[in-house]
Structure 1
Amino acid sequence: MAEQLAGLADDRALLGRTSTAERVADILRSRIAEGYFPPGTRLSEDSIGGALGVSRNTLREAFRLLTHERLLVHELNRGVFVRVLTVEDVEDIYRTRTLVECAVVRGLGEPPYALDGLAAAVTEGQLAAVGNDWSGLGTANIHFHRELVGLAGSARTDELMRSVFAELRLAFHVVDDPRRLHEPYLARNRQILHALQAGDRKEAEKQLSVYLADSLERVVEVYRGRVGDED
């Protein structure tokens, strides 16, 4: 917990003089998405509030916002915890991803496209793989898909998917072999990038659809083995 709190203290400067519950929620959401707070982690009001330099009321409002986004859960007389997802949650996350991400690619205008962010995420993933940083590769993978959604140029779509990608990170934490999950998708990210660089959005959408279906199958397989099917 000390390491996570040290990271939050580094984020304190982001709050500035306009500290709000929404800004605190943004920071915590990002930290969850980056894997600093695994599922089941209890979030201490005193420790996190002290690290960020915000009041208890502000922090509680931030917790409320993130609970509404299904990233946190409040347990009576126990506190606030990072949510542990179910199989049904994972399936719904991927259903949303497929609807939104494929629609973004399908709706792209005429090329060329602004692909610097996608290319940077692929490079980030390659560097993580070279360093055997498989959790880092998972983060780079999320960055790739966040940049893909960003091609829509829609602030509302970005906001919607920001929470979805944070939930996705919670799902990844259950995977006991992150290399097996993430490594194959580095090559697939490159293929999607190359298709978009060639201006072939139909091929990019086709690859993306298969990609997401395969990823869902793998993650659900792991979930059924680790947390069980909660039907």
Structure 2
Amino acid sequence: MHRSQAEQAADRVRSAILDGELPPGSHLDEGGLVGELGVSRNTLREAFRVLAHEGVVEHLPHRGVFVRRIERAEGHHIYAARRHLECGALRDLAVRAQPVDARLIDAVDAAVTRAEFARERSDWRTVGSANAEFHLRLAALGENPIVDRMMRTLTVEVRLLFLGTGDPLEVHARYVDENRRIIDLVRAGHFVRAAAAMELYLLRAEAHIVRDESGPEGFVTEL
């Protein structure tokens, strides 16, 4: 599918933001980006509109366009939405009681493996992107395109939230092993246990990321 210049420009700006090159609160200099991206001001402004619709940037009157900063209250809403979508997708697999496409499970597993290898290299940026892919792929097990679309939007907000918390090692390192345990439960067909594990995981992650507290020590290991 052919993508317009504005969409391509939005892709590049979005990638720079989600890779941490443009942190939350950064002012997006229109003149500099026009030269860097090789597009017109009108094209860049259309790209900004795309990104604003996605919640990646925000336009502040008389000040310009800025990378969106997620406030604490929004962080709680983000985690509530994650619990609805991700845990709901896993519970739905149990309700349907039908085999899950093994290729979809393999895709979730591959995301976890990528995070594990990146962790060994202390490549925390890759760990972060692999963790995001894990959650997207996990929700996609239900093969519901509406859930997939909602998860893609939510994942951008999650990444922005993480970027505002600081050290990527502190943000991502502790979750890799839990991702592995959850996909192992899914592969074994224990969907209700996987949903319960994911709910506890997200509650503790919310306490860690949004409240800046450690929450209850450790993760539940037997469900």
What does residue 166 of structure 1 align with?
A: 156
How many angstroms apart in 1 are the aligned matches of 2:146 and 2:19? Answer: 21
Alignment of 1:207-218 (within 5 A): 207-218=197-208
Q: TM-score, normalised by structure 2?
A: 0.83
Match of 1:156 among 146, 157, 160: 146
- 1:83 is aligned to 2:68: yes
Q: Identify which range, 105-114 or 27-36, moves more after superposition.
A: 27-36
Which of 33, 43, 67 is the equivalent residue of 2:52?
67
Structure 1 residue ranges, 4+ long, deviating more than 4 angstroms after superposition: none
Match for 2:189: what amino acid?
G
Distance 1:32 1:176, change over 3 A: closer
Do residues 143 (structure 1) and 128 (structure 2) align? no
User: Partners in 2 of 1:193 and 1:173 — Cα distance?
Assistant: 25
* SS of residue in 2 equivalent to 1:43: coil
Displacement of 1:20 in angstroms is 4.9
- Measure the CA separation in 1 of the matches of 2:36 and 2:183: 39
RMSD of aligned residue pairs (Cα, Å): 2.3
Matches within 5 A, 1:80-229: 80-108=65-93, 109=96, 110-113=98-101, 114-222=104-212
Identity %: 39
Taking the aligned partners of 1:112 and 1:165, their CA distance within structure 2 comes to 23
CA distance in 1, matches of 2:127, 2:187: 22
In terms of mean alpha carbon deviation, does 86-95 or 134-143 score higher? 134-143
**Residues 17-72 of structure 1, C-alpha deviation per residue, up to 9 Å, x if partnerless?**
64153454344334433433220122222333344443322221221232233221
Alpha carbons of 1:159 and 1:112: their partners in 2 closer, same or farther (altered >3 Å)? closer
Q: Is 1:39 matched up with 2:24?
A: yes
Q: TM-score, normalised by structure 1?
A: 0.80
Q: How many residues are matched?
A: 208
Residue 138 of structure 2 aligns to a residue in which SS?
helix
Does the CA-based 8 Å contact 2:182-2:198 persist in structure 1? yes
Whole-Å separation in 1 of the counterparts to 2:153 and 2:23:
15
Q: Is the 8 A contact 1:104 1:151 kept in 2?
A: yes
SS at match of 1:203: helix
Alpha-carbon distance in structure 1 between the residues aligned to 2:45 and 2:55: 15
Structure 2's unaligned 5+ residue stretches are: 214-223
* More off after superposition, 165-174 vs 51-60: 51-60
Q: Secondary structure at the match of 1:115?
A: helix
